[in-house]
Amino acid sequence: MIILIDLDGTLTNTAHPQFKNRKDGLEETVISAIPVFSGALDFINYQKSIGNTVIIVSDSHPKYVQKISKEIFNSDFIYLADKPNPERTLEYINANPELEKLYVERDNFILIGDSFLDIELGRRLNIRTIQTKFYKASEIEERDGIGQDWKPLKMGPTYYVKKYSEINEIIDKPFENLLAVEAAFKGCNSFKAVAFKDFKSQNNYIAFRCLARQEDGECDKYARADKYYQIDNPNRSLEFLKTLVFGIDSYLAKVESFLEFKWDYLTYVSDKKTTSPPNKMKEIFDLVNCSVPKIKLFDWKNDVEGSLRNRPDYKSRKEFINKYLFTIEGIDLDGKSIIIIDDQFTSSATAQEITAQLKNKGVKNILFVALFYLILPIQSKLCPRCSNKMKITVRREDGVKFYYCNPKGGCGLSEKIN
C-alpha cells in the first residue's frame, strides 16, 4: 500500500496562519517548534512496519516540507504539490518505476488529508481518500476550505476518521469501512454514513445521513453513480434491490442499537404517480427489514407538475416540495421519533422541507436517510483528439460509464471506462 498523506492539519497542527512564513520558506523551520498531532508518528511508524510506503504530499516550500518529513517522520515527500492539480504527484509516481507499476491498480494507493483540496486531488488520481478531522480551525480559510466542513463532505471522500487508529482499520479492512450502501455492493456489512446535519437540543434531535456517493466526474471506483441510476431503471432486478436494501438494513441496525432513542415510525418519501418505474421507492421500502413500525406519512398532490430533478437550485426545489408534497392527516405525530428514507440528497431541500412539516406536527426526533448524495463535479481527463475536457457520463440502462467529449465545443469522442 502506498499512503499519500497531507502534512499541515493531518500530521502536524500547523494549519494555522501563524505558520505561513515557515511554510512559504520565508522563515527557518525549527523542528522543536512544530506541533505534531498525538498519534501521528506512531501511525507512520506502524504503517511502515507492516510494509506500507508513506509519502508526505504538501503544497508548502521544500525547506519546510523536507525538514519535517525527514527529521520527524523519516518519510519521502512531495513539496509544492499544487493541490488539487495532480501533475506534481503523477510526476513523482511516474519517476519511480515501482510506484508507476503499482499505480496501474489504483487500490494500491490511498490519499489522506483534512482539506477538500486533498480529497479533490485523490479524486483526480482516481484513488480512495480519507478525510481527517484532527485539526480544529479557529477561523475560516477560503482557499483550503479550512473551517468549512461542507466542502470536504461534498467533495466526497471515501472514508471519514477522527483517530489515527481508524485509518489503520480502514487500511486493514477497506470494504467493511465503506459507506453502508457502497459496502453492500462489495458484499460487506457496514453501518457507515455521511453526517450532513446534526442538531441536538434538550428536546429535539434532527440528523441527515447519506449511505453512498453518486459521483459526477473523476472519483474512486466505489462511488456509485451506476447504482444510483439503476434505481430509475424500469428493468432493475430484485437482486439489485436486495443488495441496496442490505446496505440500508446494516445502517438501520446500528441506529436501533442506540438506546437513547426509541423510534416510533419508519417511513419514506413517496413516489409521484408519474414516477418511473412505478412505486420506485415503495418497492425498496417494503424490502427493508427493521423492527421500527413502517408507515406511509407522505403523499403528492394530484395536480403535481414537473419534476424536482429539473429544479436548478435549493430555493426552487424547496418551493416545489412545499407546494406538492404533504404529510398525511389523521396520524398522531406529536412527540414521535421518525426515520425517513429517500433516494437522493442533492441540495437538502427535500430533507429540510419534510423536517419543517414534521416539526409542525409536533415530531420530536427526525432522522432523514438518503441512499445517495451527489458529490461535486470533477473532470480532469482531456480529450486525446481535441484536448477539450471530457465529462464522465453514465448509460442509465446498465450503469456503464464513458468519458465523453461534448460536440458543443468538443469533438464527440467517447471512451468506455474499464
Confidence check: pLDDT of 138 > 70: no
The reported pLDDT for the residue numbered 109 is 98
The reported pLDDT for the residue numbered 148 is 62
pLDDT digits (tens, 9 = 90+) for 14-30: 988 889 999 999 999 99
Alpha-carbon distance of 188 to 182, in angstroms, equals: 9
Confidence check: pLDDT of 197 > 80: yes
Element (H or E) spanning 370, and its range? Answer: strand 365-374
The pTM is what? Answer: 0.89
- Closest C-alpha among 277, 280, 256, 276 to residue 266: 256
The reported pLDDT for the residue numbered 418 is 63
Confidence check: pLDDT of 317 > 80: yes
Confidence check: pLDDT of 122 > 90: yes
Alpha-carbon distance of 116 to 129, in angstroms, equals: 11
Instruction: Note the helical H segments in 6-86.
Output: 20-23, 40-49, 62-71
Q: What are phi and psi of 45, to 5 degrees?
A: -65, -40
| C-alpha cell of residue 323 | 407546494
pLDDT digits (tens, 9 = 90+) for 346-361: 888 899 999 999 999 9
The reported pLDDT for the residue numbered 391 is 79
Q: By three-state DSSP, how is residue 228 classified?
A: helix
The reported pLDDT for the residue numbered 57 is 98
Fold of 194-374: Rossmann fold (3.40.50)
The reported pLDDT for the residue numbered 336 is 96
Contact indicator for 240, 371 with CB cutoff of 8 Å: no
Between the ranges 236-245, 252-261, 298-307, where is the mean pLDDT highest?
A: 236-245
The per-residue DSSP string of 239-303 comes to HHHHHHHHHHHHHHHHHHH-TT----EEEE-PPPTT-SSTTHHHHHHHH---SSPB---EEE-TT
| C-alpha cell of residue 82 | 499544487
User: What residues contact residue 162 under an 8 Å CB cut-off, 6+ apart?
Assistant: 132, 133, 134
Fold of 2-174: Rossmann fold (3.40.50)
- Closest C-alpha among 337, 347, 396, 394 to residue 375: 347
The reported pLDDT for the residue numbered 296 is 95
Domains 2-174 and 194-374 share a fold: yes
Domain residue limits, the chain? 2-174, 194-374, 381-418
